[in-house]
Amino acid sequence: MRVNPRRFGLFAAAAAFAASTSVLAAPTFINVLTGGTSGVYYPIGVAISQLYSTGMSDAKVSVQATKASVENLNLLQAGRGELAFALGDSVDDAWNGVEDAGFKAPLKRLRAVAATYPNYIQIVASQESGIKTLADLKGKRISVGAPKSGTELNARAIFKAAGLSYEDMGRVEFMPFAESVELIKNRQLDATLQSAGLGMAAIRDLSSMMKLNFVPIPEDVVKKIGSSAYLSKPIPVGTYEGQDVEVPTAAVINILVTHDRVDDEVAYQMTKLIYDNLPRLVSAHSAAKDIRLEEATQSLPIPLHPGAERFYREQGLMQ
């Protein structure tokens, strides 16, 4: 059979064009790794996913509820997510491969997108438990977050600085936020330590159901932790129902993290869409009101992703 060279050439050109356009039209998959659905990471993560879905052509965006910081960072290293929330101290531990913190080896694929809002370490106890200070936790029943989560690592650091350990407690449970609150409601726990943005749903729910004591973490205890990731910050009066005094506590900056296999242009758009739409994040959760562009590159323990860095250079934040 004879083949017309001209027709064959046209067919080859059409095939090449179809192949090139199929590559160009290939969707960009973005999985946003958050935390438990009753925390702060999740609603802000959902809001970010919506920004990406509408603001990036051909983006296929999903949101994954996780055990938060430590799990998120390990998932990013394995390429099983493109954007994740994590506490600054956990990010530092991941980069350096601190095994006790949940990292078997240094996670050198991690790249920063932005420093965002602070997580406040919030210790609340039922008023009937009589717990008013850190020392009062001795012999009591407390939940400290999922094992080796960012929250649980915060608990270890705070207790150590206060001269306490898990052995001093009557019982220690390793439960997520919502489950911890339910156990307090049922009088099966006395207190819970939760690391999250202010006004978190789980504590709001609990404060509406029963009288609480908000346990202070004094500034001298925060200093004894010996890490620049921890700051002394107050929980303002009226953050929760029945909280009529300012409560000193510790805070750790949250970082949005990606990895080095994410395309530079994708990382650029991911970063830009966040800062172009901060009011929408605040609508998702009030903790986002503390996200400020001018602080986005401060105190990062890992390198910035080149795509994010390009955005900050355009904004005049970097030389």
Q: What is the pLDDT of residues 50-107, one digit of tens each?
A: 999 999 999 999 999 999 999 999 999 999 999 999 999 999 999 999 998 999 999 9
Written out in words, the top-level CATH class of the domain with range 119-252 is alpha beta
Residue 4 — very low, low, confident or very high, per pLDDT cuts 50/70/90? low
The predicted model scores a pTM of 0.81
Q: What is the pLDDT of residues 10-62, one digit of tens each?
A: 445 444 444 433 334 578 999 999 998 988 999 999 999 999 999 999 999 99
Residue 319 — very low, low, confident or very high, per pLDDT cuts 50/70/90? confident
Q: State the pLDDT at residue 146.
A: 85
Specify the DSSP element, H or E, that contains 223: helix 219-224
Q: State the pLDDT at residue 147.
A: 85
| Contact predicate 47/77, CB 8 Å | no
DSSP symbols for 30-81: EEEE---TTSSHHHHHHHHHHHHHHHSTTEEEEEE--S-HHHHHHHHHTTS-
Q: State the pLDDT at residue 21.
A: 39
Neighbours of 197 (CB within 10 A): 25
Cross-strand bridge partners of residue 91: none
CATH 3.40.190.10 fits 29-117+254-314, yes or no: yes
Q: State the pLDDT at residue 18.
A: 43
Rounded to 10°, the helix 201-209/177-185 angle is: 10
Q: Do 29-117+254-314 and 119-252 share a fold?
A: yes
Q: What is the pLDDT of residues 222-273, one digit of tens each?
A: 999 988 889 999 999 999 999 999 999 999 999 999 999 999 999 999 999 9
137 class by beta-carbon count within 10 Å (0-12 exposed, 13-18 middle, 19+ buried): buried
Place of tokens 């004879």: 2
Domain ranges across the chain: 29-117+254-314, 119-252
Four-residue CA torsion sign, 11, 17, 21, 24: positive
Tokens of 153: 């690592």
